[in-house]
């Protein structure tokens, strides 16, 4: 178990220069890791801005980096407020709502389409996600 806040910190001791994120990646064994990443209270990563990572929070960048560097990992997002606003979903890359094989080539296209549709679209999205598992 590792908190999202601790992932953005630095270690102490001889390996202190290594980030906690790098330590976690090493512990997982790298890209071949096929275990489960469970992001509890994942709404703490909501401030991710695709294409403008400098504007993103350290936590959101770390969550996205974990997903990208552990491509075989299964991902679970746990939050009571995960779909409160479409821009807050950008870090949820593994949902399969945008990207290759979907109607939206990138998150920006997904966001643009859903932002025009209001709360009703968010409710429909939540139902669709629940039905998909």
Q: How many CB atoms lie within 10 A of CB 53?
A: 13
Taking a C-beta distance cutoff of 8 angstroms, is the pair 86, 104 a contact?
no
What pLDDT digit, counting tens, does each position of 93-104 carry? 999 999 999 999
According to DSSP, residue 103 is labeled S
pLDDT tops 60 at residue 17 = yes
Distance CA(14)–CA(129), nearest Å, equals: 45
Q: In this predicted structure, which of 4-8, 52-56, 102-106, 114-118 has the lowest mean pLDDT?
A: 4-8
According to DSSP, residue 122 is labeled H
- Please give the C-alpha separations between residue 60 and each of 19, 65, 86, 88, 128, in angstroms, as whole numbers: 15, 9, 15, 10, 24
* pTM > 0.75: yes
Please say whether the dihedral angle defined by the alpha carbons of residues 12, 71, 48 and 76, taken in this order, is positive or negative.
Answer: negative
3-class state of residue 74 by DSSP: strand
pLDDT computed for residue 8 by the predictor:
82
Tokens 């959101």 sit at which residue? 60
């Amino acid at each position: 178990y590792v908190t999202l806040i601790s992932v953005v910190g630095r270690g102490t001791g001889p390996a202190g220069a290594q980030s906690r994120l790098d330590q976690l990646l090493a512990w997982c064994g790298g890209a071949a890791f096929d275990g489960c990443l469970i992001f509890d209270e994942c709404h703490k990563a909501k401030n991710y801005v695709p294409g403008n990572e400098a504007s993103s929070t350290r936590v959101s960048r770390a969550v996205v980096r974990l997903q990208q560097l552990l491509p075989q990992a299964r991902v679970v997002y746990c939050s009571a407020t995960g779909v409160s606003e479409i821009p807050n979903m950008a870090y949820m890359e593994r949902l399969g709502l945008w990207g290759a094989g979907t109607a939206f080539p990138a998150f920006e296209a997904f966001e643009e389409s859903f932002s025009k549709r209001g709360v009703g679209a968010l409710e429909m999205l939540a139902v669709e996600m629940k039905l998909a598992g």
